[in-house]
Amino acid sequence: MNPQLRQWLERYSPESFAKRENTIIRLLEEEFTEIMFNSWNEIFLEDEEGMRSMEGLFSSRGEYQRSVSRFLAFYNQRLSVDRPIADFDIDRGYRVNVINSHLTGADVVLTVRKGGGQRFQESDFLDGGFMSRHQRQLLLRLMRERKTLFISGETSSGKTTLLNFLLGDIDRSERLVIIEDTAEIRAPAGSNCVYLRTKAKAHLMQEVNTSDLVKTSLRMRPDRIILGEIRREEVVDFLHAINTGHRGSLCTGHGNSPQDMIARLEMLLMEAGIPYEAAQRYLGRGIDAIIQLRGKSERKLVGISGIRFSKGEVKIDDIA
Query: Quick one: pLDDT at residue 245?
Result: 83
Range of the structural domain that residue 127 is part of: 122-318
Q: What is the pLDDT of residues 36-75, one digit of tens each?
A: 999 999 999 988 788 899 988 999 999 999 999 999 998 8
User: What is the C-alpha to C-alpha distance for residues 185 and 33, in angstroms, rounded to an integer?
Assistant: 17
Residues 102 and 146 occupy one common structural domain:
no
149-153 vs 94-99, strand pairing mode: unpaired
Query: What CATH number is given to the structural domain containing 31?
Result: 3.30.450.90
CATH number at residue 258: 3.40.50.300
Q: Which of 77, 94, 114 represents a domain boundary (last residue)?
A: 114
Phi/psi of residue 8, each to 5°? Answer: -65, -45
How many other CB atoms are found less than 10 A from the CB of residue 297?
12
Higher pLDDT, 293 or 95: 293
Q: What is the pLDDT of residues 164-185, one digit of tens each?
A: 999 999 999 999 999 998 878 9
**Do residue 153 and residue 281 come from a single domain?**
yes
pLDDT tier for residue 16 given thresholds of 50, 70 and 90: very low
Tell me which residue of 152, 160, 159 sits closest to 258, measured CA to CA.
152
End-to-end alpha carbon distance in the chain: 64
Region 96-114: mean pLDDT is 92
Taking 90 as the threshold, does the pLDDT of residue 304 lie above it? Answer: yes
